[in-house]
Amino acid sequence: MIPGLIAQRSENLGEPLRGIGPLGLEGQLASGGIPTFNKVLSTTVGLLTIVAGIYFIFLMISGAISWMGAGGDKGAIEDARKRIMNGIIGLIIVIAGFFIIDLIGYLIGIDFLRGAFLIFNITQ
């Protein structure tokens, strides 16, 4: 009885491992991998943009509270002003980054912001 059980289990050892989700579908690995990568890349960039926006709001609020609580202290007011300016400059850099990447991609003929299109053209 035990040798039969071992023989039965050894049949399944030759099957290939499959991934989870769209990458695990049979016969669709080539067509499912690029859109999945594009979705992951888009989600990551979107999430980082949201985090940058939330951090900007945090810097603005904390700078405003520090400014109001400075009580006329020039050092505290300067610190609050620097915090607000850092938040504004950071948000401008994040927004300008999209335009700069798009401009560079346009000039050299590669669309960096559409990852699936870029990978599809490289693989063909």
Q: 56: how many CB neighbours lie within 10 A of its CB?
A: 19
pLDDT in tens, 93-113: 988 988 888 788 778 776 666
Among 97, 93, 101, 98, residue whose Cα is nearest residue 56: 93
Judged against a pLDDT cut of 70, whether residue 14 lies above it is answered with no
Q: Give residue 29's pLDDT.
A: 44
Residue predicted with more confidence, 71 or 115: 71
Residue 82 pLDDT level (bands cut at 50, 70, 90): very high
Q: Which pLDDT belongs to residue 19?
A: 55
The pLDDT score that the predictor gives to residue 23 is: 53
Q: What is the number of residues in the chain?
A: 124
Interatomic CA distance for residues 94 and 85, integer angstroms:
14
Q: Comparing 114 with 61, which gets the higher pLDDT?
A: 61
